[in-house]
Structure 1
């Protein structure tokens, strides 16, 4: 899966000839497949070489592909003879690095700066859990005081977004350079994004569940990559208030009262019964179409207080059991 974030075309004057170089920044998640293209339509009479961190990994000469004998991508890389592109499957976090493409005889070059983020590693990205309607700020970690002293003139910051990086490419949503920002690239974020002109930090205001996803910061200093960041933002609706009702128990014990607590399900919602401060049981379900329900049986002579709590990572609601109404003696 190819996920192109940005491209920068630079013209180099070498020995009186203009040579074109394109630089790309690409983000993939661990386990994804990636194809690096050449834009070559006829690979014959051309020599197309691929390097990883300046080490040769593959070449296509006159339409015939060759792989390096000592290749870190052994068993995972496929060169395509029809255009000289390469596909690498099952990307790993230690595959992050610079892939370079060199085409002869016309001498065009292309550089792919690849960042592979781990799917299950909390060290690879920062999670933000936010309630609908609130705001969250994604930091660039540039020192505001230093930026005010013109220390940040060499920085070029680009924010990109993907709902699901394994299935969907990242697209640009904001850009910052020399205290000038642009945030109108994507209608999904209309009237939502606010950028700190001092350091490029990005604030999402009046957030909705439509803004859940991954936010990537590409930080360039003097056109060189520096400390990219990835945020996962999870937006939750406020949890509904649970309700309690009694029902006819099949138990032969006439001193027992049967009640049930229920609530509308949602992302990461948990439903629990408490006796005082002690949690007695709980339930949750990944099936968001069903209502969460949790039964409880108590003794009619029980003098303890009971409550049912519905919660998700950003909110909670409580319903207290009215024993006089639901469990009359």
Structure 2
């Protein structure tokens, strides 16, 4: 029983706190936005020491004196330290600022350490829907489409039919092109949309079948002719053809046969 309790305590400690017992909080932010990492202190006393590190130390408050150690190398002028609470704000954050930020608080009230796992997501592009020319054929029934996004990372790309998910693909690599195919019928009247998303936001592109799903070269003329064939026109063509055949038959029967002289 004692062993089980010890295992449970160690598991909880690793899940809530870092490897060394530091509290870890995950923070997600879009590139270009501002994020504040809070100390949750209401007021700093004169003897309190607040130290922020992103690898090396980047900012500190001690005896009411603020020191910024970054020297504009990594963050430029993006770092701001609140002199009342010690909270750190990063403005116009970039993807290269993704990583672990460590906070050390040394106070007469007690010491504490925290780790902020900050993930910065790049701005999402709007998906682009095109017909896949590599899958082009003379078929008059199916159209193969591609939904694509460029230079993305940590995103998912999905096709929806109405509110139903048809297919999806995810990627974690940096700055790649992501494409997802979809096959539809030319006469399909359903609504389709392609969605790119990350844990923070998403962009949607709705499919306009008439604009995007054009017929392949070589089948456009045939398709245009077939579209003009109404039932009445088909019956008329059949009637004209049958009449012409009958006339030809009776004329061939009535024409005298020419005898060849011996």
Partner of 1:228, secondary structure, is: strand
**Paired residue for 2:34?**
135
**Paired residue for 1:24?**
none
1:275 aligned to which of 158, 161, 168: 161
Q: Is the 8 A contact 1:260 1:293 kept in 2?
A: yes
- Residues 247 and 236 of structure 1, relative CA distance in 2, 3 Å threshold: same
TM-score by length of 1: 0.55
Provide the C-alpha distance between the structure 1 equivalents of 2:203 and 2:37, rounded to a whole number of angstroms: 29
Q: Is the 8 A contact 1:240 1:264 kept in 2?
A: yes
Displacement of 1:153 in angstroms is 2.7
- Residues 288 and 185 of structure 1, relative CA distance in 2, 3 Å threshold: closer
1:179 aligns with 2:80: no
Cα deviation 1:55-105 (Å, max 9, x = unaligned):
xxxxxxxxxxxxxxxxxxxxxxxxxxxxxxxxxxxxx99999xxxxxxxxx
TM-score by length of 2: 0.68
Displacement of 1:272 in angstroms is 0.6
Q: Is the 8 A contact 2:153 2:176 kept in 1?
A: no
Q: Is the 8 A contact 1:93 1:117 kept in 2?
A: no
Cα deviation 1:113-157 (Å, max 9, x = unaligned):
xxx8239x9x9411111111111111111124xx4xxxx233111
1:158 aligns with 2:51: yes
**Paired residue for 1:108?**
none
Q: Which structure: greater helix fraction?
A: 2
Q: How does 1:49-88 map to 2 (within 5 A)?
A: none
- Residues 260 and 218 of structure 1, relative CA distance in 2, 3 Å threshold: same
Q: Is the 8 A contact 1:93 1:118 kept in 2?
A: no
1:247 aligned to which of 132, 146, 150: 132
Cα deviation 1:179-221 (Å, max 9, x = unaligned):
3311243421220111111011110111111211111001111
Of residues 273-282 and 244-253 in structure 1, the stretch that sits farther from structure 2 once superposed is 244-253
Computed over aligned residues only, the root mean square deviation of the Cα atoms, in angstroms, reads 3.0
Cα deviation 1:260-315 (Å, max 9, x = unaligned):
11111422111111112222111122343541110011122321111111122233
Displacement of 1:252 in angstroms is 8.8
Q: Is the 8 A contact 1:211 1:235 kept in 2?
A: yes
- Gaps in structure 2 of 5+ consecutive residues: 1-9, 215-222, 224-262
Q: Which structure: greater strand fraction?
A: 1
- Residues 201 and 289 of structure 1, relative CA distance in 2, 3 Å threshold: closer
1:117 aligns with 2:18: yes
**Paired residue for 2:241?**
none
Provide the C-alpha distance between the structure 2 equivalents of 1:299 and 1:128, rounded to a whole number of angstroms: 44
Provide the C-alpha distance between the structure 2 equivalents of 1:95 and 1:271, rounded to a whole number of angstroms: 36
2:88 aligned to which of 185, 202, 224: 202
Provide the C-alpha distance between the structure 2 equivalents of 1:230 and 1:128, rounded to a whole number of angstroms: 10
- Name which structure has the greater RCO, CA cutoff 8 Å, separation 6+: 2
